[in-house]
Amino acid sequence: MDEKALGKQIKKYRKKTGYTQEKLAIQINKSSIFISYIERGIKFPSLSTLIDIANALDISLDMLVGNSVNSNLTANLCYINNKLIQLSPNRQQVLFRIMESMLDIELDNQKNSNIIES
């Protein structure tokens, strides 16, 4: 899904729930400017942020991105999911926290890189 199409989907579901950009931003601990950039197709959110947005809007990630999800991303997520469901719930939670931490570090690095480039 391209940035503009995703942005339109997010905006559609945000308005459907009655959220302003500010309220959604608060729910996912981001700025309203970032939400605006996503909705206008200027920025593409990370998977972690997409999950946060879907949760805040009380919809599934699939509903948010629809059937036009990048097939590589879908294949990768299916692979990870199939591996995770083979583990105990405790191990799943541990791995989820590790992946979440790694994503946060990567996003911070990306954010710092964008600041330096500006």
pLDDT tens for each residue of 101-111: 999 999 988 88
Maximal CA-CA distance, the chain = 45
Encode pLDDT of 31-88 as tens digits.
999 999 999 999 999 888 999 999 999 888 888 887 554 556 666 777 787 788 889 9
Non-local (6+) Cβ contacts of 58 within 8 A are 17
Q: Is 64 exposed, middle or buried (0-12, 13-18, 19+ CB in 10 A)?
A: buried
